[in-house]
Amino acid sequence: MIDRNQTLNELVELSRWLGAPERDCTILGEGNTSAKLSDETFLVKASGGELGAIEAGGFVEVRSQEILKMVEADSIPDAEVRERLTAAKVDLNHPGVPSVETPLHAICLGLPGVSFIGHGHPVAINAIVCSNDFEQALSHRLFPDQVVVCGPRSLQVPYVDPGVELGKKLLRSLAEYLNKWGEAPKTIYLRNHGFVALGSSARQVKAITQMAVKAARILAGTAAFGGPHGMDAIDIDRIHTRPDEHHRQRVMDNG
């Protein structure tokens, strides 16, 4: 049984962490976060809220199936999207409107082992997702701890209009990824948009975000020395499957 108050408190803390100026991950009303409450509902940031200063009232509880129906629909007029998001709220008297990115959160929180989502626009990462070499640049794993924390590979999604259309594209991309690799990604890179960290806990989302930002900075730094030298696939697989690395991962995730 998930403790709603504890989950909400952890989500508030994660959001403020992600929105702190020194993180360089979000400014103004950028970014959004979410946390799973049950198979039926989850908490998501209300539209327009500033992550770095958000309070508990800045989150809305929504019904997962109502959000997923928006993604499954053939098309929804822009004017209707806000109405559908509002109608998906558990408490219709809550003044907030769920973030336009709520479909992304509904889809990701439906993946096995995923309970918290952090979506931001870290400057170091956006320098890559806004580049011409987006796909090639993100095809590498550069060092072992990147594999341990962020997984052996990432999902890359081409630019799509944020909101319902991005949800549709993400749903298809995740299905292809799961079919190919047999496990969910921990990191999603959205071209010309931003970054998504998927974790079993708020702490894991922080760790994934930190490591992804570090990897982005290292990648940028390699340009001064001839470009990146990625790890070989056999070495990535070795790190990903080593029992001692699994133990380290659990320790880092749980504190």
Q: What is the CATH number of the domain that holds 121?
A: 3.40.225.10
On whether residue 227 sits in a domain, the answer given is no
Per-residue pLDDT of the chain (255 residues; tens, 9 = 90+): 789 999 999 999 999 999 999 999 998 989 999 999 999 999 999 998 899 999 999 999 999 999 999 999 988 998 899 999 999 999 999 999 999 999 999 999 999 999 999 999 999 999 999 999 999 999 999 999 999 999 999 999 999 999 999 999 999 999 999 999 999 999 999 999 999 999 999 999 999 999 999 999 999 999 999 999 999 999 999 999 988 766 666 666 666
Q: Is 13 helix (H, G, I), strand (E, B) or coil?
A: helix
Q: Which amino acid is at 206?
A: K
On whether residue 53 sits in a domain, the answer given is yes
On whether residue 250 sits in a domain, the answer given is no
On whether residue 216 sits in a domain, the answer given is no
On whether residue 63 sits in a domain, the answer given is yes
Domain of residue 29 covers 4-132+151-201
Separation between Cα atoms, residue 142 and residue 169, nearest integer Å: 28
The tokens for 95 are: 């003044």
Separation between Cα atoms, residue 248 and residue 255, nearest integer Å: 10
pTM greater than 0.85: yes
On whether residue 98 sits in a domain, the answer given is yes
Location of structure tokens 């990604």: 185
Rg (C-alpha) for the chain, rounded Å, is 18
On whether residue 181 sits in a domain, the answer given is yes
How many distinct structural domains can be found in the chain? 1
On whether residue 156 sits in a domain, the answer given is yes
DSSP 222: G
Separation between Cα atoms, residue 38 and residue 40, nearest integer Å: 5
